[in-house]
């Protein structure tokens, strides 16, 4: 191995991408994560669509101290921030990018299943493809106890920019202008019927997802030391 190759392979994000690529060549379920780390989106049709901006911040916890206020972190400074040995750090990431995912994965040795669960955009409420949404076996859950993923539908009321304007109908299908973490985020409309002379603002029911990962390393107080929360958020 040349000196240049040795330097590249020592980078945690590069090593993580290589690990996922090797796993994807053997395990089909890793293909989606490999695709995201390479292109920034999950589907070929979305390659040319605009992406949501990745926002990163963290809250530090110390023994006998109050938590800090959220501290913003630029993507180019993330690797240094992740390597810091703090009593406890909680990262909050919105619209994660491939480079940020690879840095978290490589620096903190994150199980790829965490990212797969977060990036899963298969409609979980439908009665088709039920096997894709079955809970993991107890033996599997024991090995994946470091993370949890949430999928839910969040309501959002739509108001006109001018408060004096009456409520307007919104389309039955809603789609975000930007990809959220490489995922096409969609929703459905609820246009209330007027009642007793009153009109109500429409509500969009938006598919949302969040995932939380806790590092296995404990602090001196025997509490978690590393934690990250990933969420979708786009206009």
DSSP string, the chain: --HHHHHHHTSHHHHHHHHHHHHHTT-GGGHHHHHHHHHSSSSGGGTTS-BPPPEEEEEEE-TTSPPPPPEE--GGGHHHHHH---SEEEEEEES--HHHHHHHHHHHT--HHHHHHHH--S-TTSSSSGGGGSPPPHHHHHHTTTEEEEEEEEEEE---SSTTSPP----SEEE-SSBBTTB--EEEEE-PPPBTTB----EEEEEEEEEEEE-S-B-TTSSB-EEEEEE----
Read off the pLDDT band of 6 (50, 70, 90).
very low
Residue 185's alpha-carbon distances to 65, 121, 169, 171, in angstroms, are 39, 8, 20, 15
Domains of the chain: 3-152+207-231 (3.30.460)
Rounded Cα distance between 187 and 169, Å, is 15
pLDDT at 227: 82
The pLDDT tens digits for 54-107 are: 999 999 887 777 888 999 999 999 999 988 877 788 999 998 999 999 999 999
CB 59 within 8 A of CB 19: no
The pLDDT tens digits for 115-125 are: 988 888 776 66
pLDDT at 4: 37
CB 228 within 8 A of CB 180: no
pLDDT at 25: 92
CB 198 within 8 A of CB 213: no
pTM of the predicted protein model: 0.77
Mean pLDDT over each residue of the chain, to the nearest integer: 81
């Amino acid at each position: 191995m040349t000196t240049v190759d040795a330097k590249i392979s020592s980078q945690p994000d590069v090593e993580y991408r290589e690990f996922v690529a090797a796993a994807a060549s053997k395990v089909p379920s890793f293909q989606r994560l490999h695709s995201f780390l390479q292109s920034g989106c999950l589907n070929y049709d979305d390659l040319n669509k605009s992406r949501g901006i990745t926002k990163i911040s963290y809250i530090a916890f110390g023994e006998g101290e109050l938590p800090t206020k959220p501290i913003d972190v630029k993507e180019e400074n993330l690797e240094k921030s992740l390597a810091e040995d703090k009593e406890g750090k909680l990262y909050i990431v919105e619209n994660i990018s491939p480079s940020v995912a690879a840095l978290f994965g490589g620096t903190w040795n994150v199980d790829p299943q965490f990212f797969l669960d977060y990036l899963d955009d298969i409609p979980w409420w439908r009665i088709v493809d039920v096997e894709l949404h079955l809970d993991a076996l107890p033996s599997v859950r024991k090995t994946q106890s470091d993370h949890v993923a949430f999928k839910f539908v969040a309501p959002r009321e739509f108001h006109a920019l001018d408060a004096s304007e009456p409520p307007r109908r919104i389309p039955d299908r809603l789609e975000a202008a930007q990809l959220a973490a490489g995922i096409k985020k969609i929703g459905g409309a609820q246009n209330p019927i007027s009642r007793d002379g009153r009109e109500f603002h429409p509500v969009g029911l938006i598919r949302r997802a969040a995932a939380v990962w806790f590092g296995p390393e404990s602090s001196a107080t025997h509490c978690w030391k590393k934690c990250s929360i990933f969420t979708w958020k786009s206009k």
